[in-house]
Structure 1
Amino acid sequence: MGPFEMVVAIVAITAIASILRARYGIRRNRHGDEVHVDDAENRRLRDEVKTLKDRVATLERITIEKENSLANEIERLRDR
């Protein structure tokens, strides 16, 4: 096996290993340690971030509007 074939074999093995790691949800952190990715946990965290962004947007809108609109906003949220 010549040097060219050896390089091709190493690249092929590395590519196959990367594909398998991606398929099974294995990632590496910045220290090089393997970390398994939990899709359910990611979805839960994304939903939580979306909810928090919505709440922050509501609070920003309340604080920007006039003083008497605070009571209107509270009533609107109660009616949900």
Structure 2
Amino acid sequence: MSPEQYQIITLLLPLVAVVVAASIGGWVLNTWLRIKNGYPLETSWGRPIYPQRNEETTERVKLLSQENAQLRAELGSVKDRLANVERIVTDGSHNLDREIEQLRTRAN
């Protein structure tokens, strides 16, 4: 390889790398904006890709929604329990003893 060819390659290589990086970055940004704003993604031929909707996917969404609601309710009860435990741990032992004795007397 002659020095002239080597010099041309060393000048063009960073330019090619910048063009490739800009193209990939633009593609990623375009896809992210499409997803964020609810536009359908496209195939390599420009046709939009819509999610398939059939009975199976509808049933899956219903089951996942029910499970999500159950998990949220369970999380709420766990948060309540944790708040009680934190109150007990941070409360002075005198107040805790007094409350326990009140509960015992109330039970009897």
Q: TM-score, normalised by structure 2?
A: 0.40
What do the CA deviations read for 1:14-35 (whole angstroms, capped 9, x no partner)? 2x126x48x837xxxxxxxxxx
CA RMSD of superposed structures (Å): 3.1
Higher relative contact order, chain-length normalized (CA < 8 Å, sep 6+): 1
User: Match of 1:24?
Assistant: 58
- Paired-residue identity, %: 27
CA distance in 2, matches of 1:55, 1:72: 17
Q: Return the letter of the residue paired with 2:74.
A: E
Q: Return the letter of the residue paired with 1:8.
A: G
Structure 2 unaligned blocks of 5 or more: 1-43
CA distance in 1, matches of 2:69, 2:51: 26
Structure 1 unaligned blocks of 5 or more: 1-5, 26-35
Structure (1 or 2) with the greater helix fraction: 2
Moved over 6 A (4+): none
Q: TM-score, normalised by structure 1?
A: 0.51
Q: What SS class does the counterpart of residue 8 from structure 1 fall into?
A: coil
Give the deviation of 1:65 after TM superposition: 0.7
Give the deviation of 1:64 after TM superposition: 0.5
